[in-house]
Structure 1
């Protein structure tokens, strides 16, 4: 229930549970974003309810994070893990559960912030039924993802239609970088309001640490050249490009070179065993002796790996924001990253790291060698990288900007409601059309009355 004098708001993250244990790396960026933003918004005076789908019948329905912030798990479909591309048919059920919860609690949410296109569909229905202020964050754009992957799954048509509709009909779409804003405008629609508010990281955990002490703690040689990769083993993450680049590095040929790979398979992935392919490639490139596979790491130890590294490489073919680059920079580690998506926003070339074309093995080799062989420059980058994150990517800074946006939208809707409706483009008052759902046979996603 909402506390007196606090405005209740709803954050919807249908497939990514904000209350999931975030210490493990296999919990994705969206869980972390929604949970951290929600907790800080509560500190800023909002009553925050974060809604997700219940994916485990043994887990509590409500998780109280603080007196004014909680996660509410709604039943929609079987209470077990379901791949996100198979969740479409359960969206009307989720919407119904949300409306029932709202009515039972007697809570009115005048503002709803949805995350990812599945939640976006729910938001569009709520906008129709309840006249809410709808804010949406994409986290990943279908059109960009499919272009990078070179193929479209059966769900693609539905996803692209909903992403376009959300952009055109939401009161505001929050892009996490100017590059995402540009992609939305060029590839999705020229209609709709967009504000750029970046994602963030926990700067109390990811912080400047002594490289010497970090290496002592982890048992690394002080004189080693250490290259770090953090993330899932996924074809789109470009780990194979990184291995080939390391095989070509001058630093590797001179000995005393170590590539540390932290992370692992997505536990729910249906793709080929990417880890096996990576280990086979390492053998072919005669890198096996130089590579340390750590597996997934808890977030309390991960900062020491960042701090111990000379350079962190993010070779992704597609990256909407690039949380790993931010975490590395927060720990003072220069980054070599692909010149794609949000990485073009987070990494400042020559100041906090280097950007190179994705897939370009030689360019990655040269960039890694440059940082490994120029100590003075690398030390300067350590300071600049850490400062950039502290100033621009703390959760307090991100949630503060979102809070200002919410207040602005609510004020606009209250103070200028009649005037606003007179000037509303017709697209904002149009009905949300039913969408054929090719992935689930004859099922249709219509409005829930």
Structure 2
């Protein structure tokens, strides 16, 4: 059964992150079946809207580079939607909630990011951050409590929504999924030459936002006492501090900046280990992209990475915050690279976006039946 879906999000192209990638991928697969999914998002320089994309007036968010604040308005083009899907609880998401209530149609909300984890960005002191965190969770409880279904990308995130945020709404686990047609092992010679990464040292890398909450300094500290080259793709507010830390610690670290999406399979394929110290992930999409390219992952045993990484199969966990344990896990993974690579490739289809969108359609159908 097909639905005209209006998706509301506060992050979209040209910003590249897990939320943007998920919305774009879901939309493409949803529309392959003949259905419709419009996207309402903050206007931004650098992206020309395509058919079905509806930018609304926005301003830069002063505390978090790369994000913009849009207004909770509803473009006329989406007023005939049969279902609303909010990918944010904030202003643009409120516009989606209003549309759903005005038209008496199903309202689904995805939980992409624990907002309380980012309290430090807007708080000058720890005490203020604590208050902001509590207010954020109360607001999340209010917003997601008004949805007909909440989507969580992992079991860990589902448990967080139920137990810590305290949402009573049904929570469905719908993994974001990855494009296995794109993310697969590829030839890496051109990529290595272009970024001057050839050498005898193993490559241990990370790509994504360089945010302080990602705890990327743990990777710098772990690599400083290893004979490896650390490769960072992406950018963010913590980059300069990471560069200084790498220099101070004597770590061989290369910062490539934002990589074109077409380069990402080669980036992952070139690595011997993908390192992911972030304890705040709701799924850890880049870990699955790395696995799909045959690269094992070492990640924190916190947040969704507890589920995303299968110990001894697709990589290894380490105790979050324990740099010695991180270093040990990287060494162990380097020693088992070939075996882990084979398991990663055997499991790659389990996390395809096609399967994710099939599950998404099941949720849409259920909430539509329950609200009619």
Q: TM-score, normalised by structure 1?
A: 0.74
Tell whether the 8 Å contact from 1:261 to 1:293 is kept in structure 2 after alignment. yes
Q: For 2:213 and 2:188, locate their aligned partners in 1 and report how far apart those are by CA, in whole Å.
A: 30
Task: Name the residue aligned to 2:258.
Answer: 296
Structure with more relative contact order (C-alpha pairs < 8 Å, separation 6 or more): 1
Tell whether the 8 Å contact from 1:200 to 1:398 is kept in structure 2 after alignment. yes
Q: Shift of residue 31 of structure 1?
A: 1.1
Q: For 1:136 and 1:109, locate their aligned partners in 2 and report how far apart those are by CA, in whole Å.
A: 15
For the structure 1 residues 83 and 11, does the alpha-carbon distance in structure 2 shift closer, same or farther, using more than 3 Å as the test? farther
| Equivalent runs, 1:1-400 vs 2, <5 Å | 7-13=3-9, 15-17=10-12, 20-21=13-14, 27-56=16-45, 62-64=49-51, 70-75=52-57, 79-83=58-62, 91=71, 94-95=72-73, 97-98=74-75, 100-102=76-78, 107-118=79-90, 119-146=92-119, 152=129, 156=133, 159-209=136-186, 215=192, 220-221=197-198, 223-249=200-226, 252=227, 257-265=228-236, 269=237, 274-287=238-251, 290-372=252-334, 374=335, 377-391=336-350, 393-400=351-358
**Which of residues 356, 360, 365 in structure 2 aligns to 1:402?**
360
Q: For 2:95 and 2:219, locate their aligned partners in 1 and report how far apart those are by CA, in whole Å.
A: 39
Give the match's secondary structure for 1:117: coil
CA RMSD of aligned residues (A): 2.9
Q: Shift of residue 246 of structure 1?
A: 1.1
Q: For 2:167 and 2:110, locate their aligned partners in 1 and report how far apart those are by CA, in whole Å.
A: 17
Q: Shift of residue 242 of structure 1?
A: 0.7
Any unmatched runs of 5+ in structure 1? 65-69, 415-449
Q: TM-score, normalised by structure 2?
A: 0.88
Give the match's secondary structure for 2:364: helix
Deviations 1:162-183 (A, max 9, x none): 3102332210000000000100
Tell whether the 8 Å contact from 2:313 to 2:343 is kept in structure 1 after alignment. yes
For the structure 1 residues 51 and 16, does the alpha-carbon distance in structure 2 shift closer, same or farther, using more than 3 Å as the test? same
Q: For 1:196 and 1:168, locate their aligned partners in 2 and report how far apart those are by CA, in whole Å.
A: 16
For the structure 1 residues 259 and 130, does the alpha-carbon distance in structure 2 shift closer, same or farther, using more than 3 Å as the test? same
Q: Shift of residue 213 of structure 1?
A: 8.2
Tell whether the 8 Å contact from 1:329 to 1:386 is kept in structure 2 after alignment. yes
Q: Shift of residue 8 of structure 1?
A: 1.6
Q: Shift of residue 227 of structure 1?
A: 1.1
Tell whether the 8 Å contact from 2:59 to 2:68 is kept in structure 1 after alignment. no
Count residues in correspondence. 365
For the structure 1 residues 123 and 153, does the alpha-carbon distance in structure 2 shift closer, same or farther, using more than 3 Å as the test? farther
For the structure 1 residues 367 and 6, does the alpha-carbon distance in structure 2 shift closer, same or farther, using more than 3 Å as the test? closer
Q: For 1:210 and 1:59, locate their aligned partners in 2 and report how far apart those are by CA, in whole Å.
A: 30
Tell whether the 8 Å contact from 1:263 to 1:294 is kept in structure 2 after alignment. yes
For the structure 1 residues 163 and 308, does the alpha-carbon distance in structure 2 shift closer, same or farther, using more than 3 Å as the test? same
Segment drifting more, 141-150 vs 178-187: 141-150
Greater Rg by CA:
1
Give the match's secondary structure for 1:116: coil
Task: Name the residue aligned to 1:432.
Answer: none
